[in-house]
């Protein structure tokens, strides 16, 4: 029988704030220390308001069945993965653009240190149920993991994400969160070998990766895969269930916080990129932690 998971203290990962405004008048600001130390910042009173005419978009029919979600690609802001008539998709796009802009305003208030450095990544709208998606174990986001992608090496760049549950019928977004990044790295680092010499060059040359997979990316991908493949870790490691009710916004570095999406439907998500050197505390980054633990430079 699987060992029972040890529960993390209620505020070990998630810190809650009472803000009700996305704008510059909101209460919480200059909280770089909190997000960089691996916390999730939750705002249960910070809803993303939909116009009455936008409520029709809370329906899986707007997502192209071949795509995982509806997304906007920046800087052009073109809409991908959506199905519908052109005029309707214009309205859908406007809603997602508004979320991108409000998320950016919020992020720059919470983390003014990042101004001038934060780059807007994809904005996605997920009207489909988490539970309904069938995937391989590697793509199964109901398993605890840190974000890392085989084809998209980050080369140390951070992934900051702003999520909002816009479910209209009271359904929470259910997550699990887990141990600290450093504890997680220590758990697996000793068993991770180095990549084959020349493999990073080959993957980039063949177009399998968008850019070179550095030593950092190799380790991040291995951590992602080891965790998801380890049933004992999934069931028995220190963790906590977190329900994000509709109307809740939450923010974290998803390349640092151990997380799993267990259920929910209708969510908006904004990704930002930030250079590891542009953090208030670069020593808190996964890159710095992994370089310290391995004793070698990982961006070569």
Binding site for Fe ion (CB under 5 A): 147
Closest by CA position to 142, among listed 102, 109, 168, 174: 174
In contact, 281 and 36? CB cutoff 8 Å: yes
> Residue 92 or 262: which CB sits closer to Fe ion?
262
Phi and psi at 216, nearest 5°, equal -60, -50
> Residue 70 or 159: which CB sits closer to Fe ion?
159
User: Cβ of residue 89: shortest distance to Fe ion, in angstroms?
Assistant: 27
Please tell me whether residue 163 adopts helix, strand or coil conformation: strand
> Residue 145 or 266: which CB sits closer to Fe ion?
145
User: Cβ of residue 176: shortest distance to Fe ion, in angstroms?
Assistant: 11
Q: Prior bond to 148 cis, omega within 30?
A: no
For Fe ion, the nearest residue by Cβ is 147
User: Cβ of residue 149: shortest distance to Fe ion, in angstroms?
Assistant: 10
> Residue 147 or 230: which CB sits closer to Fe ion?
147
> Residue 257 or 276: which CB sits closer to Fe ion?
257
User: Cβ of residue 183: shortest distance to Fe ion, in angstroms?
Assistant: 18
Closest by CA position to 293, among listed 127, 180, 211: 180
In contact, 108 and 98? CB cutoff 8 Å: no
Q: Which residue matches tokens 């060992």?
A: 3
User: Cβ of residue 141: shortest distance to Fe ion, in angstroms?
Assistant: 5
Q: Is the dihedral of CA 232, 236, 238, 243 positive or negative?
A: positive
User: Cβ of residue 201: shortest distance to Fe ion, in angstroms?
Assistant: 28
> Residue 95 or 148: which CB sits closer to Fe ion?
148
């Amino acid at each position: 029988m699987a060992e029972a998971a040890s529960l993390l203290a209620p505020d070990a990962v998630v810190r809650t704030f009472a803000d009700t405004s996305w704008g510059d008048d909101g209460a919480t600001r200059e909280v770089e220390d909190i997000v960089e130390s691996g916390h999730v910042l939750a705002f249960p009173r910070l809803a993303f308001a939909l116009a009455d005419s936008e409520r029709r978009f809370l329906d899986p029919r707007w997502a192209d069945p071949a795509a995982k979600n509806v997304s906007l690609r920046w800087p052009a802001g073109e809409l991908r993965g959506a199905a519908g008539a052109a005029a309707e998709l214009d309205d859908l796009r406007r809603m997602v653009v508004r979320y991108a802009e409000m998320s950016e305003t919020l992020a720059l208030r919470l983390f003014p240190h990042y101004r001038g450095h934060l780059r807007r990544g994809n904005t996605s709208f997920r009207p489909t149920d988490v539970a309904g998606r069938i995937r391989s174990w590697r793509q199964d986001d109901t398993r605890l993991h840190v974000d890392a992608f085989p084809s998209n090496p980050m080369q140390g760049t951070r992934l900051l994400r702003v999520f909002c549950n816009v479910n209209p019928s009271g359904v929470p977004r259910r997550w699990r969160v887990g141990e600290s990044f450093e504890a997680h790295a220590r758990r697996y680092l000793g068993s991770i070998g180095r990549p084959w010499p020349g493999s990073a060059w080959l993957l980039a040359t063949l177009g399998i990766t968008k850019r070179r997979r550095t030593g950092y990316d190799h380790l991040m991908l291995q951590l992602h895969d080891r965790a998801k493949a380890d049933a004992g870790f999934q069931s028995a490691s220190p963790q906590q269930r977190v329900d994000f009710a509709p109307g809740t916004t939450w923010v974290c570095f998803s390349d640092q916080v151990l997380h799993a999406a267990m259920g929910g439907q209708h969510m908006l998500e904004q990704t930002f990129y930030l250079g590891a050197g542009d953090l208030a505390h670069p020593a808190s980054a996964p890159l710095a932690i992994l370089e310290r633990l391995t004793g070698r430079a990982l961006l070569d």
